[in-house]
Chains A and B, each alone.
Chain A
Amino acid sequence: MKKTILLIALLVVLAAALAPAQKATLVLWHSYSGVRQQLFDSLIKEFNKANPAINVKPEYGGSLWSMRDKLLTAIAGGAGPHLAEIDSYWTPIFAKPGSLVNLEPYIAADARFNKADLARASLQSTQYQGASYSVPFNLSTIVMYYNKALYKTAALDPARAPADWSELVSFCQKLTVDKNGDGTPDQRGLTFPNKANMGAVWYWLAFFFQQEGKLFNDALNAGAFNSAAGLAATDLWRQLAREGLMSMSSGSADFEAELAAMELSSSSVMGRYRDNMGNARFGLAALPKGKVSATVTGGGNLAMFSSCPDKKAGWAVLSWLNSTQVNKRWALSTGSIPVRQSVLGTPEYSDYLMSDPKGNAMIATLQDAFIRPNIPEYGDASRIIAFAVEEAMINDQDPKPLLDKAKAEVDALFKK
């Protein structure tokens, strides 16, 4: 009898141990490789440990350049992920066809998720038709890096970057040097990805917004970029190209190799320059002003897809990854700007800011930061604009007819 009871007890224990716990497995696609992937994976591991009922499976979905195609195809084929890191301007692209879950009910039910604490630009990028469809994770802005040593050689003050467009041009003229006298400058004033296929339109938008430009009309059903602002931004690029003041190759490599004295690039590159060039050799500043100061944000958000089998669990993942504690660690290790303002006040992050004035300059750019317009048409429109600007710049052509033509093409996008 005793034996039987023991046996039954043993069986019960065994069954309890072997019975599959109700575990939600959620697949999360991200774009991280190398060191960032290790960091991201370790965060997920930590989450899984703290939440035994949820099992998040992180998978590499391609770089952000190729992941959108993979996502679109996989969703159409019914095998998309449950959660994904998306580029911050994709929210409307995936929300419009109904692929994303409206997060408002989950935000309302989650006392720990403080929406008001999110950086303004980050919050904006999550919105589609007045509701949140993603949560911010990465944030960056376009900033100006400049080479202090080359500034000194050109008798410029190494503590000050160009304040406005005319100073940008005059600084570039001083910093463009033909060292060997062969008629071609060996050092250029400025470099940044200025070709359409390098993502030039992101940079062009900053100049455009500095002239108070509006990409689309107020009804958001037609292009409006063939305006004075669009012409001014494009003409500035034309001038920089015509006078040989900027490098026409890619950005970071030229800046690191000191072939260009100033660079416009993502704030997230700062850490790399610190490692490769030494912290004292370069400075970080806001972009030169046009009529107003402006920069553009980039980065990644996290979204939940309608295919997610356990939406509560999905939200728990998003909310945790977005939390102050996790965001702080992510920002400190990757150089991403914190998406939560509360991170700035934490002792570790204040230490980080105090240790280098560049950090403060980087955070300060957020005040004048614009997001890329939050409408599904932006992605295709940006391509059209980029090619028009490139043509005007490379052929040194009047931008007016080119931007007019681009506007007509963009208008057609809205009629689809």
Chain B
Amino acid sequence: MSLGTGVRRTALYAALIILAAVFIGPFLWMLLASLKSTAQIFAFPPRFLPKPVIWRNYLRAWQVVPLARFYLNSILVSGVVAFSQVVTSAMAAYVFARLQFPARNLIFLIYLAVMMIPTQVTVIPLFIIVRRLGLVDTYGALILPFLAYPFGAFLLRQFFLTIPRELEDAALVDGCPRLRILVRIIAPLSRAAMVTLGMLAFMFTWNTFFWPLLVTNTSEHFTIQVGLAMLRTQLVSAGDADWSLLMSATVISIVPVLIFYLFAQKQIVRGITMTGLKG
């Protein structure tokens, strides 16, 4: 290793460490704040470490609102939506990537254009549909509208296009049906993209606030984000909150996403090595 590369490496790592700190900083602050009292959080000059450490914040977070119920609801809803979006997106993506039919690209374009319509425009019609189906305040309202989403089809189509067609040809010649090709050949090769999509869908559903607030009315069906909003101290006409309580609940709320992410990260790395055969 020459001196030049050594210096470059050091500079690179320094830059990476700074960047990592920028990203980890807020999470670390949240974690530390969750163990402080409100007075400690706002103390000046700021003290980094909580002293004394107030573990009780976590206990209180579970007690003040039915957090466990919200938690389970969010896991259920996000899990089903993420799984379903991967399945429906893969099927749509395969069609758009491989099959030849008239106006394919135009249809794909229109399909994508749907993504550009802002939520504010669609929320009332969507709400009316959900109400007519009798789904207000049910899991159905939280899950059904999101079983398929164009973004996933777009993401996977781009990925499928990079897979050499030759891999499918043998199967096609032997008369293997398309669905089977998708499941047996394309899906294993696209694991990285599919896991990424699943993770994005999971995170998006997990974090969404307005829709669950809108379609659920009882705490049996509230998701974690509505629950976090409930934790904000209800000071009449004054926007303020019990920050230590809110921070501990927020820490609790990101754990599943974090676990899912760590799991997905491994899959992505594995997926990339597996698809290394292209080119």
Show the binding face of A for B, using Cβ within 8 Å: 27, 29, 31-34, 36, 59-66, 69-70, 73-74, 76-79, 87-88, 138, 140, 180, 186, 193, 198-199, 202, 249-254, 256-257, 259, 265-266, 268-269, 272, 298-300, 336
Contact = CB atoms under 8 A, between A and B. Distances in A.
A268 B124 CA distance: 35
A78 B134 CA distance: 12
Interface stretch (B198-206, B209-217, B253-261): B209-217
30 contacts: A27-B217, A33-B64, A33-B234, A34-B230, A60-B222, A60-B230, A63-B229, A64-B236, A64-B237, A66-B229, A70-B210, A70-B213, A73-B124, A79-B127, A193-B240, A199-B239, A252-B238, A252-B240, A253-B39, A253-B42, A257-B38, A257-B42, A266-B235, A266-B236, A268-B235, A268-B238, A269-B235, A299-B236, A300-B236, A336-B236
Interface string B109-146: 00000000000000110011001000010000000000
A34 B241 CA distance: 13
Given A62-B229, A69-B210, A259 B127 contact: no
A143 to B, nearest CB: 11
A34 B235 CA distance: 12
A250 B234 contact: no
Contacts of B123: 73
Given A199-B237, A259-B43, 9 more contacts: A29-B217, A34-B233, A60-B217, A62-B213, A73-B214, A138-B236, A199-B239, A253-B38, A298-B236
Nearest to A250: B240
B65 interface: yes
B43 A140 contact: no
B128 A186 contact: no
A282 to B, nearest CB: 14
Nearest to B219: A60
B238 A298 contact: yes
B4 interface: no
B101 interface: no
Contacts of A265: 238
B192 to A, nearest CB: 37
Contacts of B229: 62-63, 66
A161 B235 CA distance: 24
Interface of B: 38-39, 41-45, 64-65, 123-124, 127-128, 131, 136, 209-210, 213-214, 217-219, 222, 226, 229-240, 243
B237 A140 contact: yes
B234 A36 contact: yes
A251 B235 CA distance: 12
Contacts of A254: 42
A268 B236 contact: yes
Nearest to B218: A59
A69 B209 CA distance: 12
Given A62-B229, A269-B238, A298-B236, A33 B217 contact: no
A389 B128 CA distance: 39
A260 B14 CA distance: 39
Contacts of B222: 60
A117 B55 CA distance: 48
B240 A140 contact: no
A87 B230 CA distance: 17
Greatest chain A CB density within 10 A among B124, B136, B235, B238 is at B238
B42 A249 contact: yes
Contacts of A266: 235-238
Given A33-B65, A59-B217, A251 B237 contact: no
Nearest to A251: B240
A241 B236 CA distance: 26
A124 to B, nearest CB: 15
A199 B238 contact: yes
Contact of A70 (B39, B214, B233, B234): B214
Which 4 residue pairs spanning A and B have beta carbons closest together?
A298-B237, A77-B127, A33-B230, A266-B238
Contacts of A64: 236-237
B64 A34 contact: yes
B11 to A, nearest CB: 33
B38 to A, nearest CB: 6
A74 B86 CA distance: 31
B178 to A, nearest CB: 40
B4 to A, nearest CB: 42
A104 B197 CA distance: 56
A27 to B, nearest CB: 7
A256 B61 CA distance: 21
Contacts of A60: 217-219, 222, 230
Contacts of A87: 237
Nearest to A254: B42
A63 B230 CA distance: 7
A186 B131 contact: no
Contact of B136 (A79, A88, A249, A300): A79
A77 B42 CA distance: 43
Contacts of A272: 233, 235
Contacts of B41: 253
Contacts of B214: 69-70, 73-74
Contacts of A88: 237
Contact of B237 (A34, A202, A252): A202
A198 B218 CA distance: 28
B183 to A, nearest CB: 39
Given A77-B131, A79-B131, A63 B234 contact: yes
